[in-house]
A and B are shown apart, each in its own frame.
Chain A
Amino acid sequence: MKIDEKFAKRIASDDDNMVPLINVVFLMLVFFMVAGQIKKADPIAVVPPHSINETRAANDPNVVIVVGGDNSLYVDDQLQTIESVQPYLDEKFSSSLNKEGFWVQIKADGAISLDKLRPIFNQVRLAGLTKVSLATQLERGKE
């Protein structure tokens, strides 16, 4: 009888070894669910300039222009040339329902030179759009 009891105890404790593992995995899961934000990835990796600026966007941008460190230009995830930015913006603006709140976000790499950005800003200006924002990332603990 004693042998049976021991045997039964060993069977029941097979999954008990996994409990600490599950605890850790659950903690990691909760961390990623709470701390992370699910967002669509950018078409190319961009390291935005660091800034102490704290302003967050109130709503999502209508058009996102991504400028990589190699000067590649993506408008709404599509590789474009500089000349095609203005027609694209014109088309997006005319089809937009909320024309007052229409804004363009430019995500540019911090290492990019400003003379490479000027033609892009010029295209936005030529499209008649005035609401433009630059994306930055928060710099903590430097001041």
Chain B
Amino acid sequence: MPLNLSQPKRKNAISLTPLIDVVFILLLFFMLTSSFVPWRIVDTPLSVPTDSQETIEEKENVILTLKLNDDQVWVDKQVIHFTDQTRFQGLIKDHQKSIFIIKAEDGVTLQTLMHLADRLKFNGAKTVSIANAFAMPETP
């Protein structure tokens, strides 16, 4: 009976080390370059400066004025807190076709302005304008 002395065929396994090297480099690249901040945009259309500045306040618009970063807004000499949904909804219901124009005094932060715009939108306001908050104060 002849002896089978040939070596058993071993499967040639490919080393995984170069593969994982490449995968680690790819992983590092994607980890360092990826951005997860969900950027959104709010349009703030500006008006071109003209000689005869027509103020839009004369129309039937609602002017909301931010004085401080205390989550309160002034409308017709009355204060509304940002959390007072009933008064916001009442105000929006009374002025359904109006534009809600937000103005801000010095010191008010951008986050407070966006917070108020969010409250108005959340409570059903159709048109909110924040561009006036960025207008330069008129010189007397």
The minimal Cβ–Cβ distance linking A19 to chain B, given in whole angstroms, is: 7
The SS class assigned to the B binding surface is mixed
Q: Once the chains bind, are B30 and A33 in contact (CB under 8 Å)?
A: yes
Given A33-B30, A114-B133, A118-B134: A134 and B44 interface contact (C-beta under 8 Å): yes
Among A51, A121, A122, A133, chain B packs the most CB atoms within 10 A around the CB of A51
A136 CB-CB contact with B under 8 Å: yes
Given A36-B30, A121-B134: A130 and B121 interface contact (C-beta under 8 Å): no
Interface residues on A, range: 35 or more
Chain A contacts of B11 at CB under 8 A?
Answer: 12
Which of B19-27, B53-61, B73-81, B92-100 contacts the other chain?
Answer: B19-27
In the complex, how many residues of chain B place their beta carbon closer than 8 angstroms to a beta carbon of chain A?
A: 52
Interface residues of A in 113-132 (CB under 8 A from B): 113-115, 117-119, 121-122, 124-126, 128-132
Q: Once the chains bind, are A51 and B117 in contact (CB under 8 Å)?
A: yes
Given A35-B36, A48-B37, A53-B40: A25 and B27 interface contact (C-beta under 8 Å): yes
Chain B contacts of A54 at CB under 8 A?
Answer: 40
Q: Once the chains bind, are B13 and A48 in contact (CB under 8 Å)?
A: no
Q: Once the chains bind, are A115 and B114 in contact (CB under 8 Å)?
A: no
A143 CB-CB contact with B under 8 Å: yes
Contact of A35 among B26, B34, B45 (CB under 8 A): B34
- In the bound complex, CA of A79 to CA of B27 (Å): 32
Interface residues of A (CB under 8 A from B): 8, 12, 15, 18-19, 21-22, 25-26, 28-29, 32-33, 35-39, 41, 48-57, 105, 108-115, 117-119, 121-122, 124-126, 128-139, 143
Interface residues of B (CB under 8 A from A): 8, 10-11, 13, 15-17, 19-20, 23-24, 26-27, 30-31, 33-49, 104, 106-111, 113-115, 117-118, 121-122, 130, 133-137
Leading 9 A-B pairs by shortest Cβ distance: A36-B34, A32-B30, A110-B111, A133-B41, A121-B134, A115-B106, A49-B114, A138-B38, A49-B111
